[in-house]
Amino acid sequence: MNQAHEDIKKSFQNHKIIASESKSWYVGKPGTTLNSFSITWSPGSIVLYGQMGNVTLIAKEFSSYENAKKWLGSCDLETFKRTVAHEIPENLTYFYEACRFWGREPHYK
């Protein structure tokens, strides 16, 4: 084993799986995967991933599921851009509209 592998092994030796609330959906037009995407919410973050790229949003507004839905249903594009914490896809507008759609739609409980 090389040193990098040993360091990683040591870093994770005391980790345990800890249960956490989360919700996940696949959104798309029935019968096609064109412009489809998946959304996963967990306290403090929202991850969108699909054909157009991936976005991870991290914000205190996402601490609860209801707050995340409310924020995404009404956010403006500039606020959305400032909240993106990681990878920004080329087509940010697509994901922004996807988020607004998700924020307005009823969801499974």
Give the range with max mean pLDDT: 10-24, 28-42, 79-93.
Answer: 10-24
As a whole number of angstroms, the distance between CA 63 and CA 46 comes to 10
CA atoms within 13 A of residue 104's CA, in its CB half-sphere: 8
Residue 74 domain-assigned (yes or no)? yes
Give the gyration radius of the chain's Cα atoms: 17
**9-33: b (≥16 Cβ within 10 Å) or e:** eeeeeeeeeeeeeeeeeeeeeeeee
> Looking at residue 16, what is its pLDDT?
92
What pTM was estimated for this model as a whole?
0.65
**Helix, strand, or coil here: 28?**
coil
Is the pLDDT assigned to residue 88 strictly greater than 80? no
**Structural domain range at position 57:** 21-104
Identity at 90, one-letter amino acid code = E
Provide, rounded to the nearest whole percent, the portion of the chain with pLDDT above 70. Answer: 72
Average pLDDT, the chain: 78
What is the per-residue pLDDT across 43-52, written as a single tens digit (0 to 9) for each?
Answer: 988 888 887 7
Q: What is the mean pLDDT of residues 70-86?
A: 66
Our count of domains for the chain comes to: 1
Residue 50 domain-assigned (yes or no)? yes
> Looking at residue 28, what is its pLDDT?
80
DSSP assigned state of 84: B
